[in-house]
C-alpha cells in the first residue's frame, strides 16, 4: 500500500477534495493518507478519520520579507505576456481601483524584457525553484516526508496558496510526485499569470484547459490528464433533495411562495449589491415582478462589510439573509439552489452549480443604480474575462445589464424555467466535461499511477 499527503489549508478544499471520491477511493483501498490541515476540532477529524488516516498540523504561514519579495520577483520575471492574461490583470486592477484603467505605459518595455529573457526562461525557473527550496524548507515537514515516505502530495492548485508553494518545494527536495486535483473554474484566467512551478500531474476538468496549459504555459502533454471535476460528483452520487415544504419552513421561508436566491460576491467585484437587493425587494413589493415571490440572500464566505446587508432588514423585514460562513454545509446550499425558482449572482462558479442542478441562473451585470458610472464600467470589464464570457456565450447562464432586463429575465424563468435547458447542458460539457459521478475515481487512478 502507498502513502499520500493531502494539503488542506481551507475548509473549502476539504469539501472539494477530502469530501470527494478522490479521498474515499484511496482510503477504502487501504492506502495511508496523511492530512495536513489547520483544523484540530473533533468534528473535522471524525468526518475523515480511519485506521489508515493520520492528521498533522498545517501551520499558518507568516511570510518573511525575503519570502514575499522572492515570490513577487518570480511572478515578475516569469510573467507570460499573452493578451488574454494581460487583459485579466488589468481587469483585476480596475476592480481594486473601482474604475476602468488603461494599460500601463511600461507594458511595451516589460513585454520586450520578457521576449529577451525567453531563451533563458528555463534557467530562471530553475534558479527560483532552487531558491524556494532553501528559503521555504521546514524541518517538521522534512521529518514528515522522511517518516512517511509519501508516493505523492495532493494539492488544490499549482501554487496560488503559500502552503501549496511550500509543499511543492519539499516535493522537489525529496523527489516526490505532486498532483493538482482541484483548479477553480476561473483559475487559468485570473491566477496563472506566470510560468508554473513543476507539477507531476494536473487533473483537469476539460479539453480547453489542457490546450491552454500546453500552448500558453508550456506544460508537456504527459503531465495533463482530463478527468472532469470531482466536486460535481456530489450531484450524481450523494445529493437527495429534501421535501420542499419542510426545507423552506426550516430556513424560515414561505412554502406557498416562489423563491429567488441571490448569492453575493466580494464588494470589490460589485460594491452595490445591496442596491440590487433593494431594487429586487421593491419590484416584488410594487408588482413589477409576479406575485407570490420571496428573496433570500446568501452572503459569500468572508463577506466584506456584512453589516451593509443586515442593515437592510430594518426597512425590509421580509428579506431573508444567511451567511455561508455559518451555513457551510453543502447539502444545505444544494437544497437552497434546488428549491429556488431562480438563482442570481454577480459572476461566479455558482453558475456551474446551477447548471449542474438544471436550474436557472442570472448573472448581475448591472450596478443597481445607473448613476454609478465607474462601477458600471468595471462590471462590463468583469464579464470580459475569458471564463465568464465563454459561460455567457453558451447561453447556459443569462446576464442582466439593466434593471428592466433583470426583471424580464426573472419573469421569463418563472414562466418557463427550462427555456435554456439545452444551453445549460452545453455549458456543463464545455466547463465540467463528464458529470457522471466518476471523476473522483478517475483522479484517484491518476494519483495511484504517478
289 shares a domain with 200 = no
Residues 176 and 246 in one domain: no
Cα–Cα distance measured from residue 346 to residue 98, given in angstroms and rounded to the nearest whole number: 16
pLDDT band at 81 (very low <50, low <70, confident <90, very high): confident
What's residue 97's pLDDT? 86
Q: In this structure, are 311 and 422 located in the same domain? A: yes
Computed over every residue of the chain, the mean pLDDT equals 93
For residue 221, what pLDDT is reported? 97
Residue 373 pLDDT more than 80?
no
The stretch 107-124 carries a mean pLDDT of 84
Q: With bands split at pLDDT 50, 70 and 90, how would you rate the model's confidence at 374?
A: low
Residue 86 lies inside a defined structural domain of this protein:
no
What are the residues facing 56 on neighbouring strands? 36
Query: Does one domain contain both 427 and 444?
Result: no
Is residue 88 assigned to a domain? no
The sign of the torsion formed by the CA atoms of 72, 76, 78, 80 equals positive
Residues 418 and 442 reside in one and the same domain: no
Q: Is residue 91 part of a domain?
A: no
Contacts for 112 with CB less than 8 Å, ≥ 6 apart: none
**Residue 405 and residue 376 share a domain:** yes
pLDDT band at 111 (very low <50, low <70, confident <90, very high): confident
User: Which three-class secondary structure state does DSSP give residue 144?
Assistant: helix
Query: Domain of 143: which CATH number?
Result: 3.40.50.2000
**pLDDT exceeding 70 applies to what percent of the chain?**
99
Chain-centroid distance, C-alpha 276: 23
Let me know whether 378 and 265 are in one domain.
yes
Q: What is the pLDDT of residue 370?
A: 65
Residue 334: what pLDDT? 95
60 pLDDT band, cuts 50/70/90, is confident
pLDDT on residue 372: 60
Q: Tell me, what DSSP letter sits at residue 231? A: G
Q: Is 41 inside any structural domain?
A: yes
Among the ranges given (82-91, 277-286, 406-415), the one the predictor scored with the smallest mean pLDDT: 82-91
Nearest to 355 by CA among 418, 290, 279, 268: 418
Cell for 437?
A: 459521478
Let me know whether 142 and 157 are in one domain.
Answer: yes
Q: Look at residue 371 and tell me whether its pLDDT is greater than 80.
A: no
Instruction: Give the number of domains in the chain.
Output: 2
Same domain, 289 and 361: yes
Strands (DSSP E) along 193-255, which ranges?
201-204, 224-226
- For residues 313-342, give the mean pLDDT: 95
Is residue 34 helix, strand or coil?
A: strand
pLDDT value at residue 375: 67
Residue 60, all three cell numbers: 499558518
Indicate the pLDDT class of residue 328, thresholds 50, 70 and 90: confident
**Domain residue limits at 147:** 3-63+120-229+436-449
How many Cβ atoms sit within 10 Å of the Cβ of residue 44? Answer: 18
* Together in a domain, 256 and 346: yes
pLDDT greater at residue 99 or residue 30: 30
Shared domain check, 340 and 223:
no
Dist. CA 148–CA 136, nearest whole Å? 20
Global pTM value: 0.91
Same domain, 318 and 332: yes
pLDDT digits (tens, 9 = 90+) for 223-249: 999 999 999 999 999 999 999 999 999
Amino acid at each position: 500500500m502507498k502513502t499520500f499527503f493531502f494539503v488542506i489549508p481551507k475548509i473549502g478544499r476539504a469539501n472539494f477534495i477530502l469530501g470527494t471520491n478522490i479521498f474515499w477511493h484511496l482510503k477504502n483501498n487501504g492506502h495511508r493518507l496523511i492530512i495536513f490541515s489547520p483544523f484540530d476540532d473533533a468534528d473535522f477529524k471524525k468526518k475523515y478519520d480511519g485506521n489508515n488516516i493520520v492528521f498533522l498540523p498545517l501551520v499558518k504561514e507568516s511570510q518573511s520579507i525575503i519570502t514575499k519579495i522572492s515570490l513577487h520577483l518570480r511572478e515578475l520575471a516569469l510573467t507570460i505576456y499573452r493578451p488574454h492574461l494581460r487583459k485579466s490583470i488589468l481587469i483585476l486592477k480596475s476592480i481594486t481601483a473601482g474604475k476602468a484603467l488603461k494599460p500601463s505605459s511600461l507594458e511595451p518595455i516589460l513585454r520586450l524584457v520578457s521576449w529577451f529573457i525567453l531563451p533563458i526562461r528555463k534557467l530562471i525557473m530553475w534558479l527560483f525553484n532552487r531558491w524556494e527550496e532553501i528559503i521555504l524548507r521546514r524541518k517538521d515537514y522534512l521529518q514528515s516526508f522522511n517518516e512517511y515516505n509519501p508516493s505523492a502530495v495532493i494539492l488544490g492548485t499549482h501554487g496560488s496558496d503559500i502552503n501549496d508553494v511550500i509543499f511543492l518545494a519539499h516535493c522537489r527536495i525529496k523527489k516526490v510526485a505532486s498532483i493538482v486535483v482541484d483548479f477553480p473554474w476561473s483559475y487559468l484566467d485570473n491566477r496563472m499569470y506566470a510560468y508554473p512551478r513543476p507539477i507531476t500531474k494536473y487533473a483537469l476538468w476539460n479539453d480547453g484547459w489542457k490546450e491552454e496549459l500546453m500552448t500558453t504555459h508550456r506544460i508537456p502533454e504527459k503531465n495533463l490528464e482530463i478527468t472532469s471535476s470531482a466536486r460535481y460528483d456530489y450531484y450524481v452520487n450523494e445529493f437527495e433533495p429534501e421535501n420542499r415544504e419542510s426545507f423552506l419552513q426550516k430556513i424560515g421561508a414561505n412554502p406557498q411562495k416562489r423563491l429567488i436566491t441571490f448569492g453575493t460576491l466580494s464588494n470589490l467585484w460589485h460594491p452595490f449589491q445591496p442596491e440590487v437587493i433593494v431594487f429586487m425587494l421593491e419590484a416584488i413589493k410594487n408588482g413589477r415582478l409576479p406575485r407570490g415571490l420571496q428573496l433570500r440572500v446568501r452572503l459569500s464566505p468572508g463577506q466584506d462589510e456584512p453589516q451593509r446587508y443586515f442593515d437592510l432588514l430594518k426597512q425590509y423585514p421580509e428579506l431573508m439573509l444567511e451567511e455561508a460562513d455559518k451555513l457551510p454545509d453543502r447539502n444545505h446550499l444544494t437544497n437552497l439552489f434546488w428549491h429556488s425558482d431562480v438563482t442570481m449572482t454577480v459572476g461566479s462558479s455558482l453558475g456551474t452549480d446551477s447548471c449542474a442542478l438544471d436550474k436557472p441562473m442570472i448573472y448581475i451585470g448591472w450596478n443597481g443604480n445607473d448613476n454609478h458610472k465607474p462601477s458600471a464600467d468595471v462590471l462590463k470589464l468583469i464579464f470580459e474575462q475569458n471564463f465568464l464570457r465563454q459561460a455567457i456565450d453558451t447561453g447556459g447562464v443569462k446576464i442582466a445589464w439593466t434593471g428592466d432586463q433583470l426583471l424580464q429575465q426573472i419573469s421569463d424563468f418563472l414562466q418557463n424555467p427550462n427555456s435554456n435547458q439545452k444551453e445549460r447542458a452545453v455549458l456543463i460539457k464545455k466547463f465540467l466535461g463528464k458529470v457522471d459521478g466518476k471523476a473522483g475515481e478517475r483522479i484517484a487512478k491518476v494519483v495511484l499511477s504517478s
